[in-house]
Amino acid sequence: MKTQIEISAEVLNELKGSDFESWMLVQKAYQENSSDEEVMCAGMNLNTGYVYIALENGVQIASCFAQVVDFIITDFNDGEEFFFDTYEEAIEKQNNLN
C-alpha cells in the first residue's frame, strides 16, 4: 500500500502567478468532470503557456494565464486540435473521431 505520492518540486517551482492559478483551475475541472478517468500525464507547455492534464481517454484539460479551462481533443490523423467549453462536448467529439 502506498504511503506517499511524490509531486515534482521542479514543476511546482515553475508554476508562478497565473501559471499556478491555471494549475488550480485545471485540477478543479478534472475533479468536477472526469476524476474517474486515468491521468496519462500533466505539466506545462513552456512554448504555449498551457498548464494541462492529459487523460487516457484522449481529453486534455488545459488553461493558460489563469483563463477558464479548455477541454481539448486532438485528431491524431492530421494533428488538428479542437477546443471545447465543456467536458461533454469534448467526449462527444472524441467519440465521433473514433
* pLDDT per residue as tens digits for the range 12-34: 777 888 989 999 999 999 999 99
Q: Which three cell numbers stand for residue 73?
A: 481533443
pTM: 0.88
For residue 63, what is the enclosing H or E element? strand 59-63
Q: What's the pLDDT score for residue 2?
A: 61
Q: Which three cell numbers stand for residue 10?
A: 521542479
How many beta carbons lie within 10 A of that of residue 71, not counting itself?
A: 24
Q: 34-64, pLDDT tens digit by residue?
A: 989 999 998 888 888 899 999 999 999 999 9
- Residue in 39, 66, 71 with CA at minimum distance from that of residue 53: 39
